[in-house]
C-alpha cells in the first residue's frame, strides 16, 4: 500500500499546506470585497445620515437645485461654497465626454492596427507594431498627462484654434493613447484565435486573403473586439492622472467637446487630500468612488460576457 509509506507528520504538513494555499487563493476575492466595502462604507452617510443629507443627498446630487432663492435652478459642482453644491451631473458629463473622444480616437486606430497585425502584416511589420503597442501600454499615465498638458495642448490649440487650451478633445486624445493598447490586444487576440478552417472555407469559395479577413474573420471575432472596446471604455472612465492634468477641470454642463471639463476621477484626486474626515464632502467623494467602482465592475462583466460568447461561437463552429 503506497499510502502507508508517508509519515503522519507529512500528512499534517500536506493538509496545512493545502489549506494555507487555499486560503491565500481567496486574496483577490477578499480584496475586491474589501475595496467595495470600505469605499461604500464611507458613502453610506449620504443615504442614512440626515445631517449629511441636508448638504448632500441622492436627490440633491441628481436633480437641478435652486441653490439661491429667486435664481434659476441648476446643476452645479461647488463643494467649497457658502452653499455647498454637489451636483454629480457636470462630472458625469465631463467623464463621458472624455471617454467618448477617447473611444472615437482609439477604436479605429486600435482595431485597424489589430486587423493589420493579425491579417495583413508581414512578419517584419508585426515585429514593429506589437512592441510599439507594448511600449505604449508601458507609458505611465502621469507621463501621458504630462505630455498632454505641456506639448499636446499647445499643438492642438495652434492647429484648431480652441478657445480653451485644455478641453475634452485634448484630454480625450491623451486618454485614447492609454486605451489603444487594450483595444488592440484583445481585438488581435480574438482575430488570431479564429480557426483556420473558417479561413480555408472562405478561400475555397474564391475569396482573396483580404476578403476572407474582412468578411469571415472579422465578423467571427466581433464579440472579442466588442470586449476590447468595452474594457477600453471602462479604463477611459476610471483613468485619473491624464484627465486631472489635461482637462481644465471646470465642472460645466455643456455638450461641447471643446469646452473644459471635469471628470469624476479627477475630482476625487483633486479634492480628497483637503477634506476633513467625516464631512459631507468626504462622503460625497467616496460616493463618487463607489460609482466608479460599480461602473467598471459592470463594464468588466460586459467584456467577460463578450469573451465567453466569442469562445462559444468559435468552438461551436469548430465542431
| CB of 100 or CB of 272, closer to another protein | 272
C-alpha cell at 278: 467625516
Instruction: State whether residue 261 is helix, strand or coil.
Output: strand
C-alpha cell at 186: 484583445
Q: Taken in order 119, 124, 127, 132, is the CA torsion positive or negative? A: negative
Give the nearest distance from C-beta 53 to another protein in angstroms. 18
Give the nearest distance from C-beta 59 to another protein in angstroms. 21
Give the nearest distance from C-beta 198 to another protein in angstroms. 6
| CB of 66 or CB of 304, closer to another protein | 304
Q: Which residues pair with 78 in a beta bridge?
A: 85
Compute the C-alpha angle 265/268/274, nearest 5°. Answer: 160
| CB of 2 or CB of 59, closer to another protein | 2
Instruction: Note the Cα 159 to chain centre separation in Å.
Output: 29
| CB of 88 or CB of 244, closer to another protein | 244
| CB of 18 or CB of 58, closer to another protein | 18
| CB of 169 or CB of 231, closer to another protein | 231
Give the nearest distance from C-beta 158 to another protein in angstroms. 10
Whether the Cβ atoms of residue 171 and residue 261 lie closer than 8 Å to each other = yes
Whether the Cβ atoms of residue 112 and residue 225 lie closer than 8 Å to each other = no
Give the nearest distance from C-beta 104 to another protein in angstroms. 13
Within 8 A by CB and 6+ apart from 142, the residues are: 241, 245
Give the nearest distance from C-beta 55 to another protein in angstroms. 12
| Distance separating alpha carbons of residues 252 and 74, to the nearest angstrom | 11
Give the nearest distance from C-beta 57 to another protein in angstroms. 20
Residues 30-46, buried b or exposed e (16+ Cβ, 10 A)?
eeeeeeeeebbebbebb
DSSP-derived secondary structure for 284-311: HHHHHHHHHHHHHHHHHHHHHHHHHHHH
| Distance separating alpha carbons of residues 236 and 249, to the nearest angstrom | 16
| CB of 104 or CB of 146, closer to another protein | 146
Amino acid at each position: 500500500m503506497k499510502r502507508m509509506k508517508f509519515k503522519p507528520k507529512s500528512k499534517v504538513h500536506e493538509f496545512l499546506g493545502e489549506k494555507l494555499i487555499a486560503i491565500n487563493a481567496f486574496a483577490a476575492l477578499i480584496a475586491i470585497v474589501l475595496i467595495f466595502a470600505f469605499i461604500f462604507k464611507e458613502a453610506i452617510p449620504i443615504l442614512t445620515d440626515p445631517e449629511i443629507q441636508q448638504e448632500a443627498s441622492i436627490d440633491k446630487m441628481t436633480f437641478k437645485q435652486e441653490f439661491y432663492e429667486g435664481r434659476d435652478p441648476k446643476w452645479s459642482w461647488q463643494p467649497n461654497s457658502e452653499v455647498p453644491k454637489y451636483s454629480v451631473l457636470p462630472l458625469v458629463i465631463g467623464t463621458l465626454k472624455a471617454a467618448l473622444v477617447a473611444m472615437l480616437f482609439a477604436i479605429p486606430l486600435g482595431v485597424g492596427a489589430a486587423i493589420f497585425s493579425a491579417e495583413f502584416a508581414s512578419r517584419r511589420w508585426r515585429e514593429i507594431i506589437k512592441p510599439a503597442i507594448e511600449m505604449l501600454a508601458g507609458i505611465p499615465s502621469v507621463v501621458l498627462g504630462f505630455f498632454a498638458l505641456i506639448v499636446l495642448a499647445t499643438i492642438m490649440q495652434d492647429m484648431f484654434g480652441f478657445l480653451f487650451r485644455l478641453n475634452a478633445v485634448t484630454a480625450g486624445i491623451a486618454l485614447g493613447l492609454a486605451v489603444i493598447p487594450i483595444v488592440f490586444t484583445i481585438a488581435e487576440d480574438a482575430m488570431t484565435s479564429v480557426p483556420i478552417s473558417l479561413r480555408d472555407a472562405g478561400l475555397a469559395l474564391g475569396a482573396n486573403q483580404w476578403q476572407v479577413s474582412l468578411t469571415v474573420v472579422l465578423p467571427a471575432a466581433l464579440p472579442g473586439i466588442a470586449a476590447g472596446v468595452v474594457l477600453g471604455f471602462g479604463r477611459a472612465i476610471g483613468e485619473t492622472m491624464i484627465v486631472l492634468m489635461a482637462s481644465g477641470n471646470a465642472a460645466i454642463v455643456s455638450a461641447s467637446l471643446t469646452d473644459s471639463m471635469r471628470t469624476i476621477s479627477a475630482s476625487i484626486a483633486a479634492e480628497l487630500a483637503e477634506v476633513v474626515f467625516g464631512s459631507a464632502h468626504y462622503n460625497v467623494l467616496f460616493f463618487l468612488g463607489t460609482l466608479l467602482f460599480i461602473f467598471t465592475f459592470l463594464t468588466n462583466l460586459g467584456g467577460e460576457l463578450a469573451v465567453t460568447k466569442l469562445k462559444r461561437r468559435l468552438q461551436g463552429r469548430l465542431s
